[in-house]
Structure 1
Amino acid sequence: MKLTETVQTADFKSEKHVPSIHAEKADGVLKITSWVGEEIEHPNTLEHHIAWIKVFFKPEGAKFPIEVGSYEFSAHGEEELYTVPRVEVEVKTDKGGEVYALSYCNIHGLWENAIEC
């Protein structure tokens, strides 16, 4: 089995593991926000948490997406502190394209989402 065959997808409004993506473009800057738990909150406990989110951008005409951010979350209940798996990144570009987000749950594995912008 290939790793890509283990990546799961769904609608983030019905599945708490799918990273949501919002992208706004203004004055040559693409602002990307991605998080897990927009509609259905993810528990984010020591036993069950989102460990990381990676964000990619594939400009129009490009062959491959480019990783524009990689974010690890490490506070999962220590001293009553819990990380909210939400990230923002800004990319300078005049091109449109596709934004991808990939997240990892320590129990339920890899999840992805993509939007055009």
Structure 2
Amino acid sequence: MQSLGQLLQTGDFKNEKHVPVIHLPKKISEGKEFEIKVSIGDEVKHPNTLEHHIEWIKLYFFSEDGKFPVEIANFNFSSHGEGGVFTEPVGLTNVILHKSGFIYAMAYCNIHGLWESKEEVIFE
């Protein structure tokens, strides 16, 4: 039996429509609030239908000296065409960090499973 980590898929978000894209500001200051945006399908649009959609995206932070990742956001996309309503797979949150490290994003496609990406946070 595989571990969950072995089931996570990655790829180049410019060629793969399932990879979560983490958008960070160019300059991040220790102890100062900043915005994180995460989206799916920036370069190649992911389908958003009842049959094929992104169900959720989770964001985690793992500090440079951390032992475990900390969940910082959880975005659920509940409407995939019911009643003509579509929830686009985009999330936005503000955070304050006191240590450098990595932001990880994990997304779930109802057909193609779990996908992940990461971006490094380095203070200016």
Structure 2-normalised TM-score?
A: 0.88
User: What residue in structure 2 maps to residue 60 of structure 1?
Assistant: 64
Q: Which amino acid aligns with 1:7?
A: L
User: What residue in structure 2 maps to residue 83 of structure 1?
Assistant: 87
User: What residue in structure 2 maps to residue 70 of structure 1?
Assistant: 74
Higher strand share: 1
Q: Indicate whether 1:39 and 2:43 are aligned.
A: yes
Gaps of 5+ in 1: none
Contact 1:20 1:38 in 2 (8 A): yes
**Number of residue pairs the alignment of both structures matches:** 117
Gaps of 5+ in 2: none
Query: How big is the shift at 1:18?
Result: 0.3
Q: Which residues in structure 2 correspond to 1:1-117 (within 5 Å)?
A: 1-24=2-25, 25-26=28-29, 28-117=32-121
Q: 1:64 to 1:30 in 2, by over 3 A?
A: farther
Give the Cα separation in 1 of the matches to 2:56 and 2:48.
11
Query: How big is the shift at 1:95?
Result: 2.2
Query: How big is the shift at 1:61?
Result: 1.4
Structure 1-normalised TM-score?
A: 0.93
- List structure 1 segments (4+ residues) > 6 angstroms apart after TM superposition: none
Contact 1:103 1:110 in 2 (8 A): yes
Q: Which amino acid aligns with 1:12?
A: F
Give the Cα separation in 1 of the matches to 2:62 and 2:6.
21
SS in structure 2 at match of 1:79: helix
Query: How big is the shift at 1:110?
Result: 0.2
Q: Which amino acid aligns with 2:37?
A: T
Give the Cα separation in 2 of the matches to 1:102 and 1:96.
20
> Superposition RMSD on alpha carbons, in Å?
1.2
Paired-residue identity, %: 48
